[in-house]
Amino acid sequence: MAATILDGKKLSAVIETEVKARVQVLRSAGHTPILATILVGSDPASATYVRMKGNACQRVGMESLRIELPTETTTVQLLDKIAELNANPDVHGILLQHPVPEQIDERLCFDTIDLAKDVDGVTCLGFGRMSMGESAYGSATPAGIMTLLQRYDIPLKGKHAVVVGRSPILGKPMAMMLLNAHATVTICHSRTQGLERMVAQGDIVVGAVGQPELIKGAWIKPGAVVVDAGYHPGGIGDIELAAAVDHCSAYTPVPGGVGPMTIATLIEQCVTAAERYYSV
């Protein structure tokens, strides 16, 4: 039996249609959801990501406020800009594009974002609340993965999920979300001893380590669900998908799997923030 393709591109289009209807309700009441994006420096990849997010806002009827700051921006200057956006009642979501130039204290800047506007799920407070099962916006990529698994009816309760990666905005929140969904979770990383043995135990394997095809397809046990959150030049991810698709039960393609769900989740959470602000 052929493995199920967890098509994030297709599902993200469905979510955008759902979000567009919610935006129309807000606009009919005189309110337009606005996502503010902050890009510091001129990194081409970051600029592309910000543009894609702005295009998604436009498709659903939202507005985006694009703020571009020079590479030499200081931490204090960036904090001042975030404070300005926090205080702007017309801005419902704030996205600080990662990474920022090395002279900036990125974590301090992330944590300055108002929790009510942290629609990208990057603050320590938001992570803590999410981990404890309290109200917070989840980090966009792992939250998008959770939506993808839920919409494709992938069972999580009691399953053994192996997350390879421990970044604060992907691996760690991914593990907490799966744990909150009653999966048994193992967190690994590039320095894990016996990584092959760990991955082979996973009913669900999430590649979130940021290294091209570090996770070999032969390590994936038959019938496992494979989620690849990596993307590298040449259109490859963190998992050697070509060697896994013949024996896994479901997988996310690269590209077209996790990536589109990240953006769809970001704009959906921004609309939710606007709905909460206006009590719509």
**What residues are labeled active site?**
53, 97, 120
Residues 228/207, Cβ–Cβ less than 8 Å: yes
DSSP lists the bridge partners of residue 36 as: 65, 94
Radius of gyration over every alpha carbon of the chain, rounded to an integer in angstroms: 19
> How far, in Å, CA of 241 to CA of 159, rounded?
21
> How far, in Å, CA of 243 to CA of 253, rounded?
13
DSSP secondary structure code for residue 249 in this structure:
S
Which candidate, 9, 53, 12, 46, places its Cα nearest to that of 254? 9
Beta strands in 121-195 (DSSP E): 160-164, 184-188
| Maximum Cα–Cα distance across the chain | 57
For residue 155 the two structure tokens come to 């069972």
For residue 53 the two structure tokens come to 């997010």
Q: For residue 10, how many other CB atoms are within 10 A of its CB?
A: 11
Could you tell me the sign of the dihedral formed by the alpha carbons of 185, 191, 194, 195, in that order? positive
> How far, in Å, CA of 265 to CA of 263, rounded?
5
Residues 11/151, Cβ–Cβ less than 8 Å: yes
